[in-house]
Chains A and B, each alone.
Chain A
Amino acid sequence: MNFLTQTHGSIEVITVDADRIDAAVAIQFKDQMREAVAETGDRVILNLENVAFIDSSGLGAIVAAMKLMPDGKKLELAGLTTTVDKVFRMTRMDSIFAIHSDVDSAVQNAA
């Protein structure tokens, strides 16, 4: 699984270059997120626009990644596709994460 990391000022955008975060890759995802968020800017935005599917393991790994954020910083999400959005809404995890329609609006809007 590849991550593309870009910095916009003090904002770090992590783009997941995979079409699934599922049981087969959840542990790998979590491990890579641990590295990716170790030294972050003021905000970290996880861009999921390429991810067509997550299952409960993938959701758990994203929650786990939130807990890895240093200094109580929040992990924000952007670019949720239809099924990914459905998983967040169904489990009410959409109430836990700041969710932006896409990276551009995430970067423009303060959390």
Chain B
Amino acid sequence: MHSAQGQDDHALRFVLPSNPSAVRETLAEARTVLIGRGVNESAFGTCELVLAEVLNNIVEHAYNDSGEGHIKVELTLNDQELAARIEDSGTAMPDEQLPTGALASLDVPVEDLPEGGFGWFMIRSITQELTYRRKDGVNFLDFTIPLSELG
């Protein structure tokens, strides 16, 4: 299932199969390690939210819920931020660009309220230095999450 965590540096590395329960397990392992390294619960919750959205998007869209394929996660914790690199070999983003992540209007009747489209909005709201690139059949997503501003 999962690869072992970090090597001699501070990076945490995971390779997980593309399915929702593996995403859960990875998030639980990341919680244990990052909380152990001093990230507070609230800040980890915010990191977990971003990682969950990114990883679930890969499971659902890049790998189209096939259950096949793997995802590589590398997390580096600094004093002020968590830096992440996520790689997968699934389908490229549409037009090889990140979704804009605009929120649908909430000023609508209840039956028309949006039930999706929140993921990229939250990723974009929380992360900094968000970049996506496609190279040799691999999707690379990089971002940082500032920890100092999280209570």
Contact = CB atoms under 8 A, between A and B. Distances in A.
Say what secondary structure dominates the interface of chain A.
Answer: helix
A23 B106 contact: no
Contacts of B114: 60, 63
Interface residues of B, number: 30
30 contacts: A22-B20, A22-B24, A22-B52, A23-B52, A23-B56, A23-B59, A23-B60, A24-B23, A52-B45, A55-B49, A55-B119, A56-B56, A56-B119, A60-B115, A60-B116, A63-B115, A64-B115, A66-B110, A66-B113, A82-B41, A82-B42, A82-B45, A83-B42, A83-B49, A87-B49, A91-B122, A92-B106, A95-B106, A96-B106, A96-B110
Given A20-B24, A57-B56, A83-B46, 19 more contacts: A22-B24, A23-B59, A23-B60, A55-B49, A59-B118, A60-B118, A61-B115, A63-B114, A66-B110, A66-B113, A82-B45, A83-B45, A83-B48, A86-B49, A91-B121, A91-B122, A92-B106, A93-B106, A96-B110
